Structure 1
Amino acid sequence: MKKADVFEFYRRLAEANPHPKTELESGNAYQLLVAVVLSAQATDAGVNKATRALFAEVKTPEQMVALGLDALKQHIRTIGLFNTKAKNVIALSEALVADHDSAVPNDRDALERLPGVGRKTANVVMNVAFGAETFAVDTHIFRVGNRTGLARGKTPLAVELKLDKATPQPFRLHAHHWLILHGRYVCKARRPECWRCIVADLCAFKPKTPPPKALAA
């Protein structure tokens, strides 16, 4: 995608949604970290449903450790892979208490050293909690980057690095939110809704999906 088209691509997304936010609910950086860890291979809506009661009770790593593994599992049992995720959340909470004075580190490398925290999770926390210009590439962004031609790559890291290079100011801070939401609600995996896409004319995807009535006809 040409530089001018990249700018226009983001400009339109920004105009349509000037203040994008993560759809994960949290009250502080620690709860955000936990929510993002729980969101792997799960929907944000499903995570929010499970964490509302949990986060009313648990706001710090110490409180999570005190809650314990079995009680945490009961809170998040509706989330996929909850057994493994619960173990990771307890372990990362213990690490925060022991190694970071119970605070979520404002450092990607330090975040990635925590149990259950990969690069995508670290990038989300860095962006949402600390205002860093990071690009958290999930399945939606990976698809949108490749399909539109905005940032093509064979791996999430390759797409991330291309987005980092291609995304101009003033769009860098919120870029990954716009792309996630666009992929989640418009540029869907199985049937992208090209007929209502505000950046369709800038997109490299050739078999544009027609509107439902045209399909029916």
Structure 2
Amino acid sequence: MAEETGSAGKAGSAGKAASAAKAPSAKKAAPAKKSASARKVAQAGKSVSGRKVTPAEKAVAADGSVPVKKAAPARKVAVAPPGKESRTALVRRARRINRELAEVYPYAHPELDFENPFQLLVATVLSAQTTDLRVNQTTPGLFGRYPTPEDLAVANPEEVEEILRPCGFFRAKTRSVIGLSKALVEDFGGEVPGRLEDLVKLPGVGRKTAFVVLGNAFGRPGITVDTHFQRLVRRWRWTEETDPDKIEAAVGALFPKSDWTDLSHHVIWHGRRICHARKPACGACPIAPLCPAYGEGETDPEKAKKLLKYEKGGLPGQRLNPPQAYLDAGGRPAPPLGAA
């Protein structure tokens, strides 16, 4: 019995040893079973051990197979469009352009001749769709005959039309200047009001005309968004707006209010003399290094100089070469030719 017991004990020990010997192979097969749970945990972003799973582990299919890894597509790099800049950079560039233009046109001013707010108001209305030079040739005869709002309010329309004929659209302009004169007499005692909300109520007077009068007759800052101003601020990428009121707001936000009136003069003067609509004189432009549209016009300096225009104090369309057009013999900024 003892021998049988011993034999049984030995057999039991041998069985345990055999089981122990088989255990490692059983453990090797285990990963196939664990992979399913591992995949579930991996979907949550971690492995069974708690570490983060790799993209390859996340790609394991439901049946345990690993798909063939495809070539990664070319990485797309976001490229900033030309001229895109931060708000701070835009403000700095815009203000530097204005400073540069202030040195080139230190005498910039309204190119309409006037002696009082009424004359400036009427002249500005007449300047639509024509040149300031043409208006300046017309207004002496108009104001010589109708010097006050009271006089123009009761004028014979046919006589006024004949005077204004050289300005173009003379019938519509006659209605406007007679109408605004009547409104000044009836609503403002014959005086030009100094408030924007009052000025824009007058016949033929919009925000552009109102700001010309406010800035140059009353010293109240305003931005004059005429065709030159609209063209240049978009060319310089100060704004992409096309509506005059939105342009006014966008550009006004780049400058202190005290700069608005002079800024308008600088931009308009530059648009008339150098930065033309169809063929800007890029090669003769003093702010070329700051202009994102450089190259739209003539870049050859000698050819560009021939494109320059100069109105005030000279013949219409007279072409002069900078810096001689803007500096005196001592190299200092000179007033326009013919100016007092």
| Deviation of the 1:68 alpha carbon | 2.5
SS of residue in 1 equivalent to 2:134: helix
Secondary structure (helix, strand or coil) at the match of 2:253 reads helix
**Deviation for aligned residue 1:203:** 1.1
Is 2:117 the counterpart of 1:29? yes
Match of 2:43 in 1: none
Q: Measure the CA separation in 1 of the matches of 2:181 and 2:115.
A: 16
Given candidates 211, 214, 217, the residue that maps to 2:300 is: 211
8 A Cα contact 1:148 1:204, kept in partner = yes
Letter in 2 for 1:96: L
Query: For residues 208 and 274 of structure 2, what CA distance do their matches in structure 1 show?
Result: 22
Q: Secondary structure at the match of 1:158?
A: helix
1:6 paired residue number: 94
1:66: Cα distance to partner?
A: 3.6
Partner of 1:177: 265
Find the aligned partners of 2:261 and 2:122 in 1 and give their Cα distance: 22
**For structure 1, which segment, 136-145 or 62-71, has the greater mean C-alpha deviation from structure 2 after superposition?**
62-71
Q: Which runs of 5+ in 2 are unaligned?
A: 1-88, 305-340
In structure 2, the partner of 1:194 is 282
- The residue number in structure 2 matching 1:126 is 214
TM-score, normalised to structure 1, is 0.93
Deviations 1:19-48 (CA, angstroms, capped at 9, x unpaired): 311111111100110001111111111111
Q: Is residue 10–residue 171 contact of structure 1 (8 Å, CA) maintained in 2?
A: no
Structure 1: distance between partners of 2:113 and 2:141: 12
- CA–CA separation in structure 2 for the residues paired with 1:49 and 1:213: 33
- Tell me how far apart the structure 1 counterparts of residues 303 and 220 of structure 2 sit (CA, whole Å): 43
| Cα drift, residue 13 of structure 1 | 0.8
Any idea what the Cα deviations from partners look like across 1:64-101, whole Å, max 9, x if unmatched?
Answer: 12432121111111111100110111111001000001
In structure 1, distance between residues paired with 2:257 and 2:198 = 27
1:212 positional shift: 6.6
Once the two structures are overlaid, the 10-residue window that deviates more, 167-176 or 151-160, is 167-176
Q: Deviations over 1:115-167 (max 9, x none)?
A: 11111111111111111111110110000000011333121112111111012
How many percent identity over aligned positions? Answer: 38
Task: Give the length in aligned residue pairs.
Answer: 215
Find the structure with the greater CA-based Rg: 2
The aligned counterpart of 2:180 is 92
1:138 aligns with 2:226: yes
